[in-house]
């Protein structure tokens, strides 16, 4: 199992999704919502995580709606080890946020 400290320095919550192996040959996509300005250890069976904004909580949903942001299943992605071009993070859609690897942490922040 892989784990990394995720720091949400933004003013909005974010969903961190990862594959967690339940038994041999069976994994489940698990979502964890990280509230604004908090940090949490997140786990993954494959060492990759996806950031999104598809919230199951009405309060979090309304915060994104009030910020005039779209709801997406894939805003960005990060890994516990560098991939191509020695990069830990990739933004897919939303340029309002910055995602970076910093001193063993993944940091999500407002631009």
- Tell me the sheet residues that pair with 26: 23
- Tell me the sheet residues that pair with 27: 21
Domains of the chain: 2-110 (2.60.40)
User: What is residue 86's DSSP assignment?
Assistant: G
Q: What does the pLDDT read at residue 25?
A: 86
Q: What does the pLDDT read at residue 42?
A: 95
Q: What does the pLDDT read at residue 111?
A: 81
The SS3 of residue 64 is helix
The pLDDT profile of the chain, 111 residues, written as one tens digit per residue, is 899 999 999 999 999 999 999 988 899 999 999 999 999 999 999 888 999 888 988 899 999 999 988 777 778 888 877 776 777 777 766 577 888 888 888 899 988
Q: What does the pLDDT read at residue 93?
A: 65
Using a 10 angstrom Cβ sphere, with 0-12 exposed, 13-18 middle and 19 or more buried, the burial of residue 19 is: middle
């Amino acid at each position: 199992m892989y784990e990394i400290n995720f720091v949400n320095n933004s003013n909005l919550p974010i969903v961190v999704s990862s594959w967690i192996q339940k038994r041999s040959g069976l994994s489940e996509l698990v979502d964890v919502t990280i509230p604004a300005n908090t940090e949490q250890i997140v786990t993954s069976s494959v060492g990759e995580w996806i950031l999104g904004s598809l919230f199951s909580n009405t309060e979090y949903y309304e915060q994104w709606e009030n910020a005039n942001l779209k709801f997406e299943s894939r805003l960005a992605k990060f890994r516990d080890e560098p991939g191509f071009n020695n990069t830990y993070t990739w933004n897919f859609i939303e340029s309002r946020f910055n995602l970076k690897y910093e001193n063993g942490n993944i940091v999500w922040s407002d631009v």
